[in-house]
């Protein structure tokens, strides 16, 4: 059979691989690329030993046609080992005795990474459901659940509600704090150049019910952001350069996110809340905003390309989490 070329990104590396048109993904990984970390158990889609992530979705690579991965980002256990943010999952499995023969572990770890990317604070039942496609014949599942539980941060004492008009003065103070914070960290232009965002825009966000505040455990406003969900809701995202969005379906968007610095994790909490509302979130940020870029990387967003905004001529990095 005439071979074809598969183009994809495996563990962050661009690849062009000559494959049989009917090859499975696990065959390509193990036999063509000698990446033998991905295991084959049943070979028929039942045990989950061969689980890898394709564009963030877990698939049984033993029945997944490699050709379907054209243009996709693939994460295997080798990529987990190389990334300290993901390797902590593998370490927890070792620390909690969740590995015996280890045959199920690569696939199980990939399923856990998928689970935590969608739900950073799963209950035990959600953990069990998240790994239900992965069979383990050695450990029983409690050690695995304990390992995963050790990775879920306790939920911070924060909450989200819609912004009220009486919150406006404190919201304006938060934006003022954020502009200084950004300027001190090498990003003076993103909001500083135009004193962004203007009070009229925030008033309009509140009027439309699309502005949200983050509250601390005393119900004080400590953060603010814009959130909206729907089909093609952000006109400036219709044109994307140097890449493409991963999913063209309805999405949530977060803009104008800022915290007052009174405690750690405000941005993270807001982003996680927004993602939990929709399961498909898009965000953009200025190339100089390394703080936001680092947060988005840690929260499992992928950089998709460049977009342009109406408020200035600087490009923006476009991020997406599926």
Binding mask 37-56 for ligand FES (x = CB under 6 A): ---xxxx-xxxxxx------
**58 scored as a contact of ligand FES (CB under 6 A):** no
CA angle at residue 120 from 238 to 79, to 5 degrees? 75
Q: Taking CA 118 as the corner, what is the angle to CA 226 and CA 141, rounded to the nearest 5 degrees?
A: 155
Nearest approach, Cβ of residue 43 and ligand FES (Å):
5
User: What would the two tokens of residue 107 be?
Assistant: 């696939």
Determine if residue 63 is left, alpha or beta; phi over 0 gives left, psi from -120 to 50 gives alpha, anything else beta.
Answer: alpha
Residue 45 CA to residue 114 CA, distance in Å, equals 18
Q: Which stretch binds ligand FES (CB under 6 A): 130-138, 215-223, 249-257, 303-311?
A: 130-138
Helical residues (DSSP H) of 39-104, grouped into ranges: 77-82, 84-95
Task: Report the nearest approach of ligand FES to the CB of residue 47 (Å).
Answer: 3
> Among residues 27 and 308, whose Cβ is nearest to ligand FES?
27
Tokens of 161: 């509600």
Shortest distance (Å) from residue 117 CB to ligand FES: 21
Binding to ligand FES by residue 103, rule CB under 6 A? yes
Backbone angles phi, psi at 240, to 5 degrees: -125, 135
Contacts of 174 (CB under 8 A, 6+ apart): 221, 222, 223, 224, 258, 259, 260
- Does position 116 interact with ligand FES (CB under 6 A)? The reply is no
If the CB atoms of residues 47 and 274 are measured against ligand FES, the closer one turns out to be: 47
What is the per-residue binding string for ligand FES in 267-296, x denoting contact by CB under 6 A? ------------------------------
193 binds ligand FES (CB under 6 A): no
| Whole-Å CA distances, 105 to 39, 63, 64 | 9, 19, 19
For the record, the structure tokens of 261 come out as 């610095």
The backbone region for 313, taken as left when phi is positive above 0, alpha when psi lies in -120 to 50, beta otherwise, is alpha
Cβ distance to ligand FES smaller for residue 16 or 44: 44
- Residue 145 interacts with ligand FES (CB under 6 A): yes or no: no
Among 101, 165, 199, 208, binds ligand FES (CB under 6 A): 101
Q: Could you tell me the two tokens for 298?
A: 């840690």
Would you say 60 or 260 has its CB closer to ligand FES?
60
The nearer residue to ligand FES, 138 or 193, going by C-beta atoms, is: 138
- Residues of the shown chain interacting with ligand FES in the complex, contacts defined by CB under 6 A: 40-43, 45-50, 60, 62, 99-105, 136-139
């Amino acid at each position: 059979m005439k071979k074809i070329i598969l183009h994809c990104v495996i563990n962050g590396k661009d690849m062009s691989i000559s494959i049989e048109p009917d090859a499975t993904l696990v065959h390509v990984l193990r036999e063509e690329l000698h990446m033998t970390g991905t295991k084959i158990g049943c070979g028929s889609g039942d045990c989950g030993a061969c689980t890898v992530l394709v564009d963030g979705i877990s698939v049984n690579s033993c029945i997944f046609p490699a050709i379907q991965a054209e243009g996709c980002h693939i994460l295997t256990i080798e990529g987990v080992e190389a990334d300290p943010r993901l390797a902590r999952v593998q370490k927890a499995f070792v620390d909690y005795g969740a590995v015996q023969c280890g045959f199920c572990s690569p696939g199980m770890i990939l399923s856990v990474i998928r689970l935590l990317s969608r739900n950073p604070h799963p209950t035990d039942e959600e953990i069990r459901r998240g790994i239900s496609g992965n069979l383990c014949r050695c450990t029983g599942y409690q050690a695995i659940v304990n390992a995963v539980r050790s990775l879920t941060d306790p939920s911070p004492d924060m909450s989200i509600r819609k912004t009220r008009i009486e919150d406006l003065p404190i919201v304006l103070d938060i934006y003022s704090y954020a502009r200084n914070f950004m300027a001190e960290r090498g990003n003076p232009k993103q909001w500083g150049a135009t004193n962004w965002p203007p009070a009229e825009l925030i008033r309009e966000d509140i009027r439309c019910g699309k502005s949200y505040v983050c509250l601390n455990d005393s119900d004080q406003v400590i953060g603010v952001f814009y959130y909206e969900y729907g089909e093609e809701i952000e006109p400036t995202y219709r044109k994307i350069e140097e890449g493409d969005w991963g999913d063209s379906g309805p999405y949530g968007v977060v803009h104008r996110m800022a915290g007052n610095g009174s405690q750690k994790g405000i941005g993270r909490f807001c982003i996680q809340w927004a993602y939990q509302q929709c399961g498909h979130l898009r965000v953009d940020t200025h190339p100089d905003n390394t703080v936001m870029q680092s947060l988005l990387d840690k929260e499992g967003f992928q950089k998709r390309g460049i977009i342009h905004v109406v408020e200035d001529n600087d490009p923006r990095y476009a991020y997406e989490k599926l």
